[in-house]
C-alpha cells in the first residue's frame, strides 16, 4: 500500500528544496567502514545516489513506483555506482526483505507521515546492526513551507522522537539542517548496542 500523500512533484522542483550532499555530510553517520545503507522510499534517488558515493557497502533503494526504481537503477549505472541495488518493493505490505541486522544506516526521508509510522520504524530497527543509525528528515510545521503533507498528518520532531523511542531506538538527536534544507528538520537515532 502506497503511503498517503507520498507522491512526488517534478524532479527539478523537488531538488530545489535540498542540498543532498551537504545534508548527508550531516546525517549519514555510519558505525563502521563497510556499512550497508537502506533507503525507504527512494523517489528520484535524491539521497540514495549521493549516499552510494559515500558508502563502501551496498545501498538498497526501495520504492513502490516502478518508474522511480528504474530511474535510480539507470542513474546508478550512468554514474558508475555498482553498489546501488534499486528494488521494487512495497515495504508497508511486505517489509523490506532485507536481512536482520544487515545495515549500518537506514534513511526515512519525507515519509513518516504514513499511516503506521511506528511499524516502519520497527522495520528499520530490525534491519540495523546493533549500534546502527537511522536518519529521518521531514517538513517543518513551525514555518510556512512550499510543499509537504497537510499539517494534520505532518509529524513534528517531538512526535518523531516519541515514535523512535517506541520502536526501540535510543540516543535520538536533532540535527539542524540549516541552509542545506531550510524547510526541513533532521534527526538521527541509534539502535542500542546491547
Ligand atoms: C515523498 S517521496 C520521498 C522520496 C525520497 N525519500 C526523498 O526524500 O527524496 C516518498 C516515496 O516513498 C514511496 N513509497 C510510498 N509508499 C511506499 C511503500 N509502501 N513502499 C515503498 N515505497 C513507498 C513513494 O513512491 C515515493 O517515491
Domain boundaries, the chain: 11-190
pLDDT for the residue numbered 110: 98
Written as nine digits, the cell of 124 is 528499520
Closest ligand 1 atom to Cα of 3: 16
Q: What's the gap in Å between 173 CA and the centre of ligand 1? A: 23
Is any atom of ligand 1 closer than 6 Å to the C-beta of 22?
no
Q: What's the gap in Å between 194 CA and the centre of ligand 1? A: 31
Q: How far, in Å, CA of 131 to CA of 9, rounded?
A: 35
Ligand 1, atom 12, lies closest to the CA of 41
pLDDT for the residue numbered 20: 98
DSSP codes joined into one string, 61-129: EEES-HHHHHHHHHHHHHTT-TTEEEEE--HHHH---PPTT-EEEEEEES-TTSS-HHHHHHHHHHHEE
Give the CA angle between residues 62, 114, 181 to the nearest 5°: 75
CATH for 11-190, options being 3.40.50.300, 3.30.559.10, 3.40.50.150, 3.30.2420.10: 3.40.50.150
Q: Indicate the pTM of the whole model.
A: 0.98
pLDDT for the residue numbered 33: 87
Is any atom of ligand 1 closer than 6 Å to the C-beta of 126?
no
Q: Please enumerate in sequence order all residues whose Cβ is within 8 A of that of 65, keeping only pairs 6 or more positions apart, or say none.
A: 2
pLDDT for the residue numbered 172: 95
pLDDT in tens, 149-177: 999 999 999 999 999 999 999 999 999 99
Q: What's the gap in Å between 9 CA and the centre of ligand 1? A: 12
Low-confidence ranges of the chain (pLDDT < 50): none
Amino acid at each position: 500500500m502506497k503511503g498517503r500523500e507520498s507522491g512526488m512533484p517534478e524532479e527539478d522542483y523537488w531538488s530545489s528544496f535540498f542540498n543532498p550532499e551537504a545534508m548527508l555530510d550531516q546525517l549519514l553517520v555510519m558505525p563502521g567502514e563497510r556499512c550497508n545503507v537502506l533507503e525507504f522510499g527512494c523517489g528520484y534517488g535524491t539521497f540514495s545516489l549521493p549516499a552510494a558515493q559515500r558508502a563502501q557497502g551496498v545501498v538498497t533503494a526501495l520504492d513502490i513506483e516502478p518508474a522511480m526504481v528504474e530511474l535510480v537503477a539507470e542513474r546508478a549505472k550512468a554514474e558508475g555506482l555498482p553498489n546501488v541495488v534499486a528494488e521494487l518493493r512495497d515495504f508497508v505490505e511486505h517489509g523490506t526483505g532485507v536481512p536482520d541486522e544487515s545495515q549500518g544506516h537506514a534513511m526515512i526521508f519525507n515519509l513518516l507521515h504514513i499511516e503506521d509510522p511506528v511499524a516502519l520504524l520497527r522495520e528499520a530497527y530490525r534491519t540495523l546492526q546493533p549500534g546502527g543509525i537511522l536518519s529521518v528528515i521531514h517538513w517543518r510545521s513551525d514555518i510556512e513551507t512550499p510543499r509537504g503533507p497537510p499539517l494534520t498528518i505532518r509529524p513534528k520532531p517531538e512526535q518523531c522522537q516519541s515514535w523512535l523511542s517506541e520502536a526501540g531506538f535510543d540516543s535520538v538527536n536533532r540535527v539542524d539542517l540549516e541552509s542545506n534544507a531550510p524547510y526541513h528538520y533532521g534527526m538521527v537515532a541509534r539502535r542500542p548496542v546491547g
